[in-house]
Structure 1
Amino acid sequence: MFSVKKYIEEVQFNLEKKSNELIEAFKSLKNVQFPNDTAVLFAWSSFSLDDVTLFLEAHEDMFNSVDPVEEDSDYTSSVILLNSILLYDADTKSFNEDEEKKFFEFYSDNDLEKVTIKEYGNWVKKCFDRANTTLNEPIYFMILDEDEVLNLVTGEWEDPVEVEL
């Protein structure tokens, strides 16, 4: 009934629909002024299969965001890159209770959360590359509460504890 290949294809299809928006959001960062104590930027979101928002936040290090800036300042410490990203929409499948249970077993048995995060990260990296934007700070993609971050310049997943800025 379910296949990993079809699941991944749907995630990729849903992300691709938002590519132009994310590329333009990355391009617009050249006009954003971040506070002087910004050492690194994070494109981040929490993990959900639907209604995901992708934020960009300025950090003073790998773990601490810069202090919020005053409203009338020319600087900003965070930006919404994209609203309402749909990764996979189980609701449109009209699953009955048994099918829904089987889907979540399939999802769990195939470690699809990890697979989805990697697909999402690779898509963010692809859009960042296509935006061809040069930033003064390193930039990473992360999902809250996950152990690794994706360096959007190198394409490498890294342990943030080991990153030297």
Structure 2
Amino acid sequence: MIRENLANTETQLVESFKKIENLKFPEDASVLIVSSSLDDLNDEQFEIYLSVNEDMFDAVEPVDEDSEYNDGVYLVDSAMLYKEFETGEEFDKFFSFFDKNNLEEVTMKEISDWVQKCFHQAEVTLPLPIYFSFTDEDDALNLVTGKWEDQMDIDL
């Protein structure tokens, strides 16, 4: 179900990655962070956001609206991860199954594999390193090399 739903958004993410090539970034930008969160499973939808950071943890200062520079953009602002549930009972049953079978790690792997696949399909060249991470996770996926790295050890 996750793969099928992600496939429905694939073109949108590939096109969003292509648009990054045309963005201008502030001078203090040193890394691009693509992030998503699985914190709220009550909402079957998820987002993917690109932030422009000065390091792995701190975004550059927001720029004013008239500036030519970008400090972040939504790559996918609302995608379906699971199915919509007709009733709260259906959702509770699903969430119980999800939790009991520890499907968060499987879901995170599916999403990160999909993000990297879309990045490579976009065939973009960027002036900054680009990583994908889930909010509150220690490791980040280098989208160029395909390797997971501890964010504390990444030297920019």
Matched, 1:109 2:100: yes
Q: How many residues align?
A: 153
Secondary structure of the 1:31 match is: coil
Q: Which residue of 2 aligns with 1:163?
A: 154
Gap runs ≥5 in structure 2: none
Matched, 1:27 2:21: no
Please state how far the C-alpha of 1:53 moved relative to its aligned partner.
1.6
Tell me the alpha carbon deviations over residues 82-103 of structure 1, each in whole angstroms, 9 at most, x when there is no partner.
Answer: 1211111251xx4673x65443
Distance in 1 between the 2:102 and 2:145 partners? 25
Q: Structure 1 vs Structure 2: percent identity of aligned residues?
A: 46
Q: Which moved more, 1:153-162 or 1:32-41?
A: 153-162
TM norm structure 2: 0.90
Q: Which residue of 2 aligns with 1:135?
A: 126
Tell me the alpha carbon deviations over residues 60-93 of structure 1, each in whole angstroms, 9 at most, x when there is no partner.
Answer: 01111100011111101001111211111251xx
Q: Which residue of 2 aligns with 1:67?
A: 61
Are the equivalent residues in 1 in contact too, given 2:60–2:71 (CA < 8 A)?
A: yes
Please state how far the C-alpha of 1:104 moved relative to its aligned partner.
2.5
Q: 1:79 aligns with which of 73, 76, 80?
A: 73
Q: Which residue of 2 aligns with 1:11?
A: 2
Please state how far the C-alpha of 1:147 moved relative to its aligned partner.
2.0
Please state how far the C-alpha of 1:158 moved relative to its aligned partner.
1.6
Could you tell me which amino acid in structure 2 is paired with residue 114 of structure 1? E
Please state how far the C-alpha of 1:105 moved relative to its aligned partner.
3.0
More helix as a share of residues: 1
Are the equivalent residues in 2 in contact too, given 1:51–1:83 (CA < 8 A)?
A: no
Q: Which residue of 1 aligns with 2:141?
A: 150
Could you say which structure has the larger radius of gyration?
1
Please state how far the C-alpha of 1:128 moved relative to its aligned partner.
0.2
Gap runs ≥5 in structure 1: 1-9
Tell me the alpha carbon deviations over residues 100-142 of structure 1, each in whole angstroms, 9 at most, x when there is no partner.
Answer: 5443332122211111111111100000000000101110111
Q: Which residue of 1 aligns with 2:51?
A: 57
